[in-house]
């Protein structure tokens, strides 16, 4: 065998800091940054060394993008839709209500021109992006009382952020922005009626099932939310070509393995939740229909006043429809048949 370390003996040592938007306790989503960093160190004999910091260690979780834009850190791992307050066009990189599923997002970004389109937009923030994970279709939240009709949504105080919150508001609900650690007591006291988080594996940890038994699906505001790496453009340009290549390969890996890890863990967690008395509930059709309609209105309104949003939405929406026409054939018929044979 050849002596190791064999690569990179004369390669430069590059030390970067990555700020994650996630706490270490959300091990799967947080772990995507470790997948990237560990692989890069291993490929380069430790020379390309990205140190991963949890949300809050360098900057608060929701300021990860800002930290990269300003050059405080070289890279972050976050969700683009945390930044819809800057521009609603930040929604597309992670998910918009009734948007694309995980596989469709990969197709759009890697082959459908999505990557180029988003990076043009992100250039305004001095960053470039790389897909870096997915949770799959999220669950639709924990409700103290059943939602049997659209009328039951009216006046509902729900912990939900971003564009999903805008759509819920259009249906008469009152969206609340509450940080992860504060959701449980609010739900327990009844300060809020409902809260959405991620899916069975992450939700179980926060214990919502103890105070709100109705577990709704699907999380229609995030059919295939993608997690994102954003790299400061100047720092990227300074990287040796080989390190840029290695970074890209490791980001592909983080993307595919996060989805696989969630798919592995969620069924196990869901089964435990059901055993502890959780009631699995479908959103009524009329709620989904009204939400879909409200979402389309939101997109039309935003497109009318925001050219960046309009440009991306036009492409995204066309692509989504083409994808769904195809996924409704072999994939859907196969999955539906297999799911009916337990």
Residue 91 in contact with a copy of itself, rule: CB under 8 A: no
Q: Are 76 and 128 in contact (CB under 8 A)?
A: no
Six-digit token string for 120? 């043009």
Pick one of 248, 276, 297, 314: the residue that binds a copy of itself (CB under 8 A).
248
Q: Which run of H or E residues covers position 24? A: none
C-beta of 182 vs 263, nearer to a copy of itself: 263
C-beta of 83 vs 243, nearer to a copy of itself: 243
State how far the Cα of 171 lies from the Cα of 151, in Å rounded to an integer.
Answer: 9
Residue 4 in contact with a copy of itself, rule: CB under 8 A: yes
- Give the range of 41-49, 68-76, 149-157, 160-168 binding a copy of itself by CB under 8 A: 41-49
Residue 2 in contact with a copy of itself, rule: CB under 8 A: yes
Six-digit token string for 319? 């692509």
Centroid of chain to Cα 214? 23
Pick one of 24, 27, 34, 45: the residue that binds a copy of itself (CB under 8 A).
45
Pick one of 189, 275, 305, 325: the residue that binds a copy of itself (CB under 8 A).
325
Q: Which of residues 212-231 bind a copy of itself (CB under 8 A)?
A: 217-220, 223
Six-digit token string for 324? 């769904």
Q: Is 326 helix (H, G, I), strand (E, B) or coil?
A: helix
DSSP 199-237: -HHHHHHHTGGGT--EEEE--TT-SSPEEEEEEEHHHHH
Helix%, strand%, coil% for the chain, nearest 5: 55, 15, 30
Residue 63 in contact with a copy of itself, rule: CB under 8 A: no
CB of 270 to a copy of itself, least distance (A): 6
Pick one of 151, 179, 260, 304: the residue that binds a copy of itself (CB under 8 A).
260
DSSP state of 336: H
Q: Which of residues 152-191 bind a copy of itself (CB under 8 A)?
A: none
Residue 101 in contact with a copy of itself, rule: CB under 8 A: yes
C-beta of 179 vs 334, nearer to a copy of itself: 334
- Give the range of 15-23, 144-152, 158-166, 232-240 binding a copy of itself by CB under 8 A: 232-240
Residue 104 in contact with a copy of itself, rule: CB under 8 A: yes
Q: Which residues touch 25 (CB under 8 Å, ≥6 apart)?
A: 205
Residue 272 in contact with a copy of itself, rule: CB under 8 A: no
273: left (phi over 0), alpha (psi -120 to 50) or beta: alpha
- Give the range of 60-68, 83-91, 180-188, 233-241 binding a copy of itself by CB under 8 A: 233-241
CA distances from 10 to 6, 13, 34, 105, 242 (A): 10, 9, 25, 38, 13
Pick one of 76, 102, 192, 227: the residue that binds a copy of itself (CB under 8 A).
102
Q: Which of residues 276-305 bind a copy of itself (CB under 8 A)?
A: 280, 282-283, 288, 292
Q: Are 266 and 200 in contact (CB under 8 A)?
A: yes
Pick one of 24, 144, 205, 265: the residue that binds a copy of itself (CB under 8 A).
265
C-beta of 79 vs 251, nearer to a copy of itself: 251
CB of 115 to a copy of itself, least distance (A): 11
Residue 250 in contact with a copy of itself, rule: CB under 8 A: yes
State how far the Cα of 100 lies from the Cα of 121, in Å rounded to an integer.
Answer: 19
| 15-43 burial: b if 16+ Cβ within 10 Å, else e | ebbbbbbbbeebebbbbbbbbbbbbbbeb
- Give the range of 120-128, 161-169, 188-196, 316-324 binding a copy of itself by CB under 8 A: 316-324
């Amino acid at each position: 065998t050849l002596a190791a370390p064999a690569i990179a003996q004369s390669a430069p040592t590059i030390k970067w800091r990555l700020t994650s938007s996630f706490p270490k306790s959300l091990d799967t989503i947080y772990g995507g940054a470790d997948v990237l960093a560990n692989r890069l160190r291993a490929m380069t004999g430790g020379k390309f060394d990205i140190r991963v910091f949890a949300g809050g260690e360098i900057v608060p979780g929701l300021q990860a993008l800002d930290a990269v834009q300003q050059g405080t850190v070289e890279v972050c791992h976050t969700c683009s839709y945390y930044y819809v307050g800057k521009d609603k066009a930040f929604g597309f990189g992670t998910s918009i209500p009734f948007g694309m599923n995980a596989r469709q997002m990969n197709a759009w970004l890697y082959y459908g021109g999505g990557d180029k389109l988003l990076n043009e937009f992100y250039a305004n923030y001095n960053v470039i992006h790389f897909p870096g994970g997915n949770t799959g279709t999220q669950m639709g939240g924990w409700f103290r009382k059943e939602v049997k009709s659209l009328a039951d949504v009216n006046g509902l105080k729900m912990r939900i952020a971003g564009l999903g919150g805008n759509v819920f508001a259009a249906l008469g609900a009152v969206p609340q922005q509450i940080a992860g650690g504060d959701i449980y007591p609010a739900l327990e006291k009844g300060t809020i009626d409902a809260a959405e988080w991620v899916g069975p594996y992450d939700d179980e940890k926060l214990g919502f099932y103890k105070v709100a038994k109705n577990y709704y699906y699907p999380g229609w505001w995030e059919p295939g939310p993608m997690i994102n790496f954003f790299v400061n453009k100047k720092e990227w340009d300074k990287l040796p070509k080989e390190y840029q290549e290695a970074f890209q390969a490791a980001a592909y890996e983080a993307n595919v393995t996060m989805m696989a890890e969630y798919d592995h863990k969620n069924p196990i967690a869901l089964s435990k939740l059901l055993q502890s008395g959780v009631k699995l509930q479908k959103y009524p059709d009329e709620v989904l229909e009204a939400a879909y309609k409200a979402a389309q209105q939101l997109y039309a309104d935003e497109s009318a006043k925001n050219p960046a949003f309009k440009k991306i939405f036009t492409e995204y929406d066309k692509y989504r429809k083409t994808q769904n026409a195809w996924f409704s054939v072999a994939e859907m018929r196969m999955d539906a048949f297999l799911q009916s044979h337990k």
